[in-house]
Structure 1
Amino acid sequence: MERVAVLVMEMQRGVVGDLTKFPDLVAACDRHDVIANAARLLQAARRTGLPVIHCTAAFRPDRAGSHTGNCPFIVSLLKDPAHMLDGAPATEVLPELLDPGDLESRRHHGFSPFTGTSLDMTLRSLGVSEVVAVGVSLNLGIPGLALEAVNLGYRVRVVTDAVAGVPEEYARAVLKHTISLLATRTTTAGLVEEWT
């Protein structure tokens, strides 16, 4: 039988919460109840005893450990020297998604939660063979998560009503033309029923 873990991608205050610099992404999450759906899914996972791992991003003030000049998006973000600094409130997981028993895997560079982190080892130590992905964004983070998880041998499910990206028509196209090639698409209701 598959051992499942839920990976929560960048559901942080500085990404989709009260300290965001991405209002369009927050609006997309609001329109599709992404945070509420993720919270419902995480509650069901915890009741079933499945591990929940928050895949978060942050930067050190001195940017050590981060490649800061190799990606136009990162270059633009880091024009703000205070952007997503380790220990700052912006890097905190949304409180409605956090439980004391959850795990966290933090990265300081790139867009995938696997490269350069201990996430793969954590999953293997827990006996996980399948990951369920929720969070943001369908532009970079969720496709990166799915692709690397498949490359590492995991089965992947993406919860279509607990992920978002902008513009929304592009996000729908990513789900249809990219995610469908890498992962099984599912819904919050479907997984909650499966895990009940």
Structure 2
Amino acid sequence: MNTRSYPPERTALVVVDALNDFLAEDGKLSAQIGPMLDKLDLRAQLDRLIAGAREAGVTVFYAPHGLNADAFTDIKHVLPRFQFAVDNQVFWEGSYGADFYPPLRPQDGDVVVGRHHMFDSFAGTDLHEQLRNHGIEKVVLAGLTSQTCIEGTGRHALEAGYHVTFLTDAVAEFTEEAHRAALEISYPTFGHEVATIDAFLSAVEPAKAA
């Protein structure tokens, strides 16, 4: 029996890193991740998911990546992939690449939280505060990338006491191996639910009358 239930007033769709450097054809990471985006039809899937969540009354939270010259000033051992991002100004704050991909841009009623520097959208941001201020108990994760920022954010959400749902068809990775590891190993380990977009949207309860 399907026991999934998502009260819209207590559920948040957290969209991670829906940014030009990932999703735009001229983004700095497009050549590396583009084949998987196309294979999974992620742009269209995210568009469908976000529209469905808004229509159902679920608040959409945007958790963008963002780097600047001081992002790792206090970090003694910077991960090589983040050093690459700094050297090439990927997701550089104020740049085109760090801006939201236009078809998925936040709209009125959505919440945009502070920019994370590494894999965890909670670390150094106001995501937890914003979720609490909106009375959120259930966090549903989508975006990029499957095994890094989605997984990292989900792990933190679990530790912070939220009910966590990973959506299998609303995420993508650079490689099939990393994507499969996230879906088949990490998500069942750290999520209360692992679901498709359709399964999630169909389980959103009708909004309560004002």
Assess same fold via TM > 0.5.
yes
1:141 equivalenced with 2:149 (yes/no): yes
Please give the residue correspondences for 1:82-161 in structure 2 after superposition, counting only pairs within 5 Å.
Answer: 82-101=89-108, 102-161=110-169
Q: In 1, Cα distance between the equivalents of 2:112 and 2:165?
A: 19
User: How many residues are paired up?
Assistant: 193
Superposed CA RMSD in Å reads 1.8
Q: Quick check: 2:106–2:112 contact (8 Å CA) kept in 1?
A: no
Q: Quick check: 1:54–1:93 contact (8 Å CA) kept in 2?
A: no
Q: Quick check: 1:138–1:163 contact (8 Å CA) kept in 2?
A: yes
Please give the residue correspondences for 1:25-104 in structure 2 after superposition, counting only pairs within 5 Å.
Answer: 25-60=33-68, 63-67=69-73, 69-80=77-88, 82-101=89-108, 102-104=110-112
Greater mean deviation of Cα atoms: 142-151 or 34-43 = 34-43
1:194 equivalenced with 2:203 (yes/no): yes
Q: Quick check: 1:41–1:191 contact (8 Å CA) kept in 2?
A: no
Q: Quick check: 1:8–1:54 contact (8 Å CA) kept in 2?
A: yes
Q: Residue 125 of structure 2 aligns to which amino acid in structure 1?
A: T
Q: In 1, Cα distance between the equivalents of 2:57 and 2:177?
A: 35
Structure 2 gaps of 5+ residues are 1-5
How far residue 35 of structure 1 moved from its aligned partner, in angstroms, is 1.5
Q: In 2, Cα distance between the equivalents of 1:83 and 1:140?
A: 16
Structure 1 gaps of 5+ residues are none
Identity level (%):
25
Greater mean deviation of Cα atoms: 112-121 or 9-18 = 9-18
Q: In 1, Cα distance between the equivalents of 2:81 and 2:168?
A: 25
Q: In 2, Cα distance between the equivalents of 1:192 and 1:108?
A: 27
> Please, what TM-score do these two structures have when normalized by structure 1?
0.90
How far residue 108 of structure 1 moved from its aligned partner, in angstroms, is 4.7
Q: Quick check: 1:53–1:104 contact (8 Å CA) kept in 2?
A: yes
> Please, what TM-score do these two structures have when normalized by structure 2?
0.85
Q: Give the 4+ runs in structure 1 shifted more than 6 A.
A: none
